[in-house]
Amino acid sequence: MKKVRRKIGKYEVGRTIGEGTFAKVKFARNSETGESVAIKVMAKTTILQHRMVEQIKREISIMKIVRHPNIVRLHEVLASQTKIYIILEFVMGGELYDKIVQLGKLSENESRHYFQQLIDAVDHCHRKGVYHRDLKPENLLLDAYGNLKVSDFGLSALTKQGADLLHTTCGTPNYVAPEVLSNRGYDGAAADVWSCGVILYVLMAGYLPFEEADLPTLYRRINAAEFVCPFWFSADTKSFIQKILDPNPKTRVKIEEIRKDPWFKKNYFPVKLGEDEQVNLDDVRAVFDDIEDQYVSERSEITEGGPLIMNAFEMIALSQGLNLSPLFDRHQDYVKRQTRFVSRKPAKVIISSIEAVAESMGLKVHSRNYKVRLEGVSANRVGQFAVVLEVVCFCFCCVHYFLRNARNTLF
């Protein structure tokens, strides 16, 4: 019997090549051109439930704006009644991170080659007013020819007229510039350059320049640019990296100065860009206007209030003394007597289940804003006891990010 392939528009859909909390990625082929693509599939209800409309809309729009040979290309966006399909360039070489893990470290020449392509891509983004803000080897892919492709613009920012500084603290702590941690505003271009410097160090050393088990120590080292280059770094390499990992963003080397540095210019062949393609965002508007129209009732219900949503930095703060280990090793968390667990169930389902069990046990239940207080009399009836529970939402990619960057326990 002949196997019938599923089609989405002109794309023949094949196997699942990746799966996350909010999306699946499918391999597909353009039936008109034969080109291989990756299709990111997201349910509209999921996007609404997690209030991701603006974030995804922004990420897609940015990827259409920053078209460059060293950036993963977004072809188009399609939608059905229930799903959104993001059609992306299929990059088959995997993450640069995996290559570093496999080889331990890369040679100076190979590291320089990847760094040159990274700077080309980042410079192109900055010229378009886009700042990535989460540059790291896990977000750098390799194609079949070994060319670097920048991906994952989920935390990127597109500057607005008259807005000079960015204020959102985001990114991966080991790669984040000192000024991003200061909460006083920062220049997105200078912050991206710092992250590029950390990446270059990792490529050549095989480990991070800034790595500590607790955040205060990590932040202190980042703020002081306290790092040591391994003995196999050449004098020129050390000097070059020190210019990039300058804790003062005003004196930190800029991309135009990086391009002029003799270390960078060795065997450098700048990418040739054609004329700027006209960017059409009509498909993006159509998809997201449609999602607003079709699901307005669900959206209004969701916006009535929800559990606290944490980013990676806020999640880390749950840990005693900002030591990251207790998040994964409860035996180290002696000070606060508390228990944490995770669930993929919606917050309302969790709260309802807790209330039902508590009431069956004869406990008094007080619920408000996804916080629950359970009260009752102890078993021997000599005193009252109370339990307080809170449902907190966080992205599961934070957990992946913790584990993926770990050497011992975390990051």
Angle at 245 between CA 169 and CA 317, to 5 degrees: 30
Element (H, E) at 358: helix 347-360
Residue 349 confidence (pLDDT) above 80: no
**Bridge partners of 368?**
371
For residues 167 and 161, what is the distance between their CA atoms, to the nearest angstrom? 15
Measured over all CA atoms, what is the biggest interatomic distance in the chain, rounded to whole angstroms?
Answer: 80
Tokens of 353: 């289940």
Q: What is the pTM of this model?
A: 0.72
For residues 373 and 364, what is the distance between their CA atoms, to the nearest angstrom? 8
Instruction: Give the CB-side neighbour count of residue 59, counting CA atoms within 13 A.
Output: 17
The set of residues, in sequence order, having a beta carbon less than 8 Å from that of 172 and lying 6+ positions away, is: 134, 136, 312, 401, 405
Dump pLDDT digits (tens) for 166-213. 988 888 999 999 999 988 899 999 999 999 999 999 999 999 999 988
Element (H, E) at 96: helix 96-103
Question: What residue type is 277 in one-letter code?
Answer: E
Tokens of 400: 């992946």
Percent of the chain's residues with pLDDT above 90 = 50
Spell out the domain ranges in the chain.
Answer: 8-90, 96-269, 312-396
The closest of 303, 343, 336 to 319, measured between CA atoms, is 336
What's the Cα-to-Cα distance from 110 to each of 97, 229, 261, 270, rounded to whole Å? 14, 18, 17, 16
What's the Cα-to-Cα distance from 160 to each of 23, 163, 281, rounded to whole Å? 29, 5, 17
Q: Which of 120, 123, 134, 152 is catalytic?
A: 134
Q: Which fold has domain 96-269?
A: Transferase(Phosphotransferase); domain 1 (1.10.510)
pLDDT for the residue 42: 92
Lowest mean pLDDT among 21-30, 69-78, 158-167, 235-244: 158-167
Name residue, tokens 């996350």: 20
What's the Cα-to-Cα distance from 229 to each of 105, 112, 261, rounded to whole Å? 13, 16, 19
| pLDDT confidence bin for 250, thresholds 50/70/90 | very high
The closest of 108, 336, 128, 359 to 230, measured between CA atoms, is 108
For residues 179 and 148, what is the distance between their CA atoms, to the nearest angstrom? 27
What's the Cα-to-Cα distance from 133 to each of 80, 130, 155, 188, 374, rounded to whole Å? 32, 9, 6, 7, 42
Lowest mean pLDDT among 21-30, 64-73, 163-172, 398-407: 398-407
312-396, which class in CATH?
alpha beta
Q: Quick one: 34 exposed, middle or buried, by C-beta within 10 A (0-12, 13-18, 19+)?
A: exposed
Mean pLDDT estimate for the chain:
81
Residue 73 confidence (pLDDT) above 60: yes
Residue set of the binding site: 40
289 has catalytic annotation: no
Tokens of 325: 């280990």
pLDDT for the residue 163: 59
Dump pLDDT digits (tens) for 259-289. 999 999 999 998 887 766 677 777 787 777 7
Question: What residue type is 324 in one-letter code?
Answer: L
Residue set of the binding site for ATP: 40
Percent of the chain's residues with pLDDT above 70 = 76
Dump pLDDT digits (tens) for 310-347. 555 545 544 444 444 444 443 433 333 445 566 767 77
Domain 8-90 has CATH 3.20.20.70: no
Residue 406 confidence (pLDDT) above 60: no
The set of residues, in sequence order, having a beta carbon less than 8 Å from that of 1 and lying 6+ positions away, is: none
